[in-house]
Chains A and B, each alone.
Chain A
Amino acid sequence: DQQVKQNSPSLSVQEGRISILNCDYTNSMFDYFLWYKKYPAEGPTFLISISSIKDKNEDGRFTVFLNKSAKHLSLHIVPSQPGDSAVYFCADSNAGGTSYGKLTFGQGTILTVHP
């Protein structure tokens, strides 16, 4: 079974600087990784995904990097804004198999961006 680990419970960054959120995984069999952001009292919101056949995907201020040899991915937010303060989850989607609707989530990292 896939395990997805976010080893940093929290991260504090100054506004305008780069935020780097990290995620490690155990099983090389996956189709996509996704990043979600969650504010209190709201459901998670999809940010960006990366396919297993790529090593980078960009969308505006958000870039995800995938290092398959290290089984590691990271989300870069540049520049960070106070409104980015939230809990960030990485999630594995083995959509190619029978994992319909199933995402395996990491424990989350609380990002705080200070003005």
Chain B
Amino acid sequence: KAGVTQTPRYLIKTRGQQVTLSCSPISGHRSVSWYQQTPGQGLQFLFEYFSETQRNKGNFPGRFSGRQFSNSRSEMNVSTLELGDSALYLCASSAGGSGANVLTFGAGSRLTVL
């Protein structure tokens, strides 16, 4: 069974640019969540999508957005990049039902903003 796939794995952008990251969940998983990992703030929740609808959102500015397609694949976009957006962006998928909310994570997309 294929795991969660994130692309690209590494990318470098400059301030003011925008970036789009992609995530393919485990087959059959309908929930996709996004997290930001930085040395100072740790792992922080960005948002979650289920059946193309955003069900939950963390405390990030509107520059951070996402969407989910009918095949459950998801993208997140960060506009007007700032130096502080440099981070590892992790995508996770789950079946999305009740229970322990066990998420399966991808390897992440490492974004560097210069």
Contact = CB atoms under 8 A, between A and B. Distances in A.
Interface of A: 31-32, 34, 36, 41-46, 49, 51, 89, 91, 93, 95-96, 98-108
Interface residues of B, number: 30
A89 B43 contact: yes
A99 B103 contact: no
Interface in B29-85: 31-33, 42-45, 47-50, 55-56, 58
Given A32-B100, A34-B101, A45-B105, 17 more contacts: A32-B99, A34-B100, A41-B107, A46-B104, A51-B100, A89-B43, A93-B100, A93-B101, A95-B100, A100-B48, A100-B96, A101-B45, A101-B48, A101-B92, A101-B96, A101-B101, A105-B44
Scoring A45, A49, A101, A103 by chain B CB atoms within 10 A of each residue's CB, the highest score goes to A101
Contact of A101 (B103, B106, B108): B103
